[in-house]
Amino acid sequence: MEAVDTSLEGGITSSSLEMRSKVFDTHEKDPPQRTPFYELLYGALDDIMLKILMACAIVSMVVDYAMHKEGGNPWYVEGLAIWFAVAVVSLVTAISDYQKEGEFLKKQLIEENSKVVQCIRDGKEVTLHRNYLKVGDVIRVMNGMNVPVDGLVLKGNGVLCDESAMTGESDHFPKEDMAKCRQR
């Protein structure tokens, strides 16, 4: 604990936050980026049925142009109708995906903003968003909490950790505090 200038009772000091950011960087995650509309539109046009319809539109326009007789219907009507159908389907799909992604990102932002932890700074227990944690913060771990950092267990007994997100194993691993680890 001396190596990171922290203590169990006092945590870290507010005066050391800037130095910790410079030395260890920040814990902030970049916000998720929204997929541009043109990429969603391109993805919608990548559908096999729409590709077949586009090929049919081209073939229809070429054949109608070659077989066109004066005075009849314009040669491009059928092909243009197919292109219009492709445009409507792809635009509706892209707009729908864009709106769904927007709603998902709003819900994800609300969930992300609710992820707070109790930690000790300047000898007081404070509530912080997990993006603002620094190296050396002493975090109070609660039952069922998602711990957003790597760390050491300073005090506690019967602590079990589900590391399935990292290892893929569904077993809960027991964690011992520093004093017990040093005894071994």
Q: What percent of the chain has pLDDT over 90?
A: 37
Instruction: Read off the pTM.
Output: 0.67
Provide the domain limits for residue 41: 1-151
Contact (Cβ atoms closer than 8 angstroms) between residue 79 and residue 61: yes
Could you tell me if residue 110 is inside a domain?
Answer: yes
Least confident of 60-64, 80-84, 134-138, 157-161: 157-161
Task: Kindly state whether residue 56 falls inside one of the protein's structural domains.
Answer: yes
Mean pLDDT of the chain: 87
Nearest residue to 28 via CA among 121, 119, 114, 130: 130
- The reply to whether 169 falls in a domain is no
Domain annotation covers residue 158: no
Which phi and psi angles does 128 have, rounded to 5°? -130, 150
CB 147 within 8 A of CB 141: yes
Range among 79-93, 109-123, 126-140, 142-156 rated most confident: 79-93
Long-range contacts of the stretch 14-18 (C-beta < 8 A, 24+): 14/121, 14/122, 16/136, 17/134
For the chain, what is the domain count?
A: 1
Reported confidence tier of residue 1, pLDDT bands at 50, 70, 90: low
Q: For residue range 56-110, what is the model confidence (pLDDT) as tens digits?
A: 999 999 999 998 888 778 889 999 999 999 999 999 999 999 999 999 999 999 9
Residue 166: inside a domain? no
Q: CB atoms < 10 A from the CB of 36, how many?
A: 10
